[in-house]
Amino acid sequence: MDASEQRIKIAVQKTGRLTDHSLHLLERCGLKVTQSKDQLFCYGENMPIDLLLVRDDDIPGLVSDDVCDLGIVGLNIVEEKRQALLHDGREAMFKQVFELDFGHCRLSLAAPEGTDYRGPESLNNRKIATSYVGILRDYLNKCGVAAEIVYFSGAVEIAPKLGRADYICDLVSTGSTLDANGLAEVDVLLESEAVVIQTRAELSEDKQALVDRMLQRLDGVLQVRESKYIMLHAPRAALGEICDLLPGSEAPTVIPLEGTDDKVAVHAVCRETVFWETLENLKSAGASSLLVLPVEKMLA
Ligand code: ATP
Ligand code: ZN
């Protein structure tokens, strides 16, 4: 087997809303890359992992066809590809492994302000403009609604003004584009964020080990985001109550304190946000010398 076959490929959006977040996330997993002159390829310097920089729409297909082993892309694009493949009688050869908590948006139905929308049945015999034909078709089928889907590859929001559609189905985050076009959101079809997808193709043992290692690092990076390390002193008598107050922590470490029997030090990793209220409650329960530290890396 030649050396390039032992390397894994991750598909990432080339330029767009997901690019910086995706590259930063991979950097936090310890990957260092150099970009090729054509800027389509990033060579992993310290791990046998390369990045393919492509249009986001191509990412699920590249992972499904086993050109790439992993991909970072919006759930909206993943679901659209899944529906398109299903429509052709094929099954998506990728699976979703992580939600990444960036690239949040929703795929929504919108109509000119003042439209009397009373639920999906209002869509009967109406025209809906969208680039998300697969997801919309599936939604209409599930609702038992017969509407005409008008395909737009971009600038969907101008379709009603052009008289091409009564509704649009498009991505919304702040709603300002809808506002600017005199449209109002009437229903949400899908809540989306960036996700990691993984090929379902069978990989060689070495490649699978590398994919698993990368997924474990990604999991670590995602876990530490909210995690904090808490250190405090606690009266022995209040230990039970204090441990119960520590948010999302399993089995804190209890350490004796030199020169005293009735006080101990407690160290714990808390996997949930630690609010000021939590610290105040811990203090009321008798805790003192409270310290909350960020967690840099975690390997379960
Ligand atoms: P490409 O050239 O890669 O095809 P694009 O124009 O289709 O780029 P972007 O606008 O960069 O894509 O959006 C990428 C992803 O960001 C979307 O598929 C979606 O998951 C997410 N996203 C978050 N907020 C929004 C938004 N307000 N509008 C569009 N996409 C958004
Ligand atoms: Zn795109």
- Tell me: the pLDDT tens digits for 156-175? 999 999 999 999 999 999 99
Predicted confidence band of residue 2 (pLDDT cuts 50, 70, 90): low
Q: SS3 breakdown of the chain: % helix, strand, coil, rounded to 5? A: 35, 35, 35
The two three-digit tokens of residue 257, written as one number:
């304190």
Mean pLDDT, residues 36-43 taken together: 84
pLDDT band at 252 (very low <50, low <70, confident <90, very high): very high
Q: How far is the CA of 76 from the centre of ligand 1 (A)?
A: 9
Among 12, 15, 17, the mutation site with the greatest number of ligand 1 atoms within 8 A of its Cβ is 17
Q: What is the rounded average pLDDT for all residues in the chain? A: 94
| Closest listed ligand to the CA of 17 | 1
Instruction: Report residue 140's pLDDT band, with 50, 70 and 90 as the boundaries.
Output: very high
Residue 36's pLDDT band (cuts 50, 70, 90): confident
Question: Higher model confidence: residue 138 or residue 37?
Answer: 138
Measured in angstroms, how far is the CA atom of residue 17 from the centroid of ligand 1?
6
pLDDT for 265 beyond 70: yes
**Separation of alpha carbons 158 and 181, rounded Å:** 7
- Alpha carbons 137 and 145: distance in angstroms, whole number: 10
Ligand nearest to the CA of 100: 1
Give the pLDDT confidence score for residue 34 in this predicted structure.
93
Q: What is the CATH number of domain 3-103+194-223?
A: 3.40.190.10
Residues of the chain with CATH 3.40.190.10: 3-103+194-223, 105-191
What value does the mean pLDDT take over residues 190-197? 98
Q: 219 pLDDT band (50/70/90 cuts)?
A: very high
Residue 256, classified by CB atoms within 10 Å of its CB into exposed (0-12), middle (13-18) or buried (19+), is exposed
Report whether pLDDT(232) > 80. yes
Nearest residue to 115 via CA among 107, 105, 126? 126
Say if residues 130 and 169 touch (Cβ distance below 8 Å).
yes
Report d(CA 201, CA 211) in Å as an integer. 12
In the prediction, which pLDDT does 275 show? 85
Distance (Å, whole) CA 231 – CA 252: 10
Do residues 195 and 73 lie in contact, with contact meaning Cβ atoms separated by under 8 Å? yes
* pLDDT value for 132: 98
Give pLDDT, residue 147: 97
Predicted confidence at residue 1, as pLDDT, reads: 54
Domain at 105-191: CATH code: 3.40.190.10
The span from the CA of 157 to the CA of 175, in Å, is: 11
Q: Which ligand is nearest to the CA of 102?
A: 1
Please work out whether the CB of residue 57 comes within 6 Å of at least one atom of ligand 1.
yes
**Mean pLDDT throughout 99-125?**
97
Q: Does residue 120 register a pLDDT over 70?
A: yes
Residue 122 pLDDT > 90: yes
Q: How far is CA 246 from the centre of its chain?
A: 27
Mean pLDDT of 85-103: 95
Torsion sign, CA atoms 170, 176, 177, 182:
positive
pLDDT for position 274: 84
Residue 131 Cβ < 6 Å to ligand 1: no
Does pLDDT of 211 surpass 60? Answer: yes
Q: pLDDT value at position 200? A: 96
| Ranges for all domains in the chain classified under CATH 3.30.70.120 | 228-294
Nearest to 50 by CA among 41, 58, 59: 41
Q: Are 270 and 247 in contact (CB under 8 A)?
A: yes
Check if the beta carbon of residue 121 is closer than 8 Å to that of residue 145.
yes
Assigned architecture for domain 228-294:
2-Layer Sandwich (3.30)
Say whether pLDDT at 267 is over 80. yes
| Crossing angle of helices 205-224 and 19-28, rounded to 10° | 100
Q: What is the pLDDT of residue 247?
A: 83
Residue 226 clears pLDDT 90, i.e. is over it: no
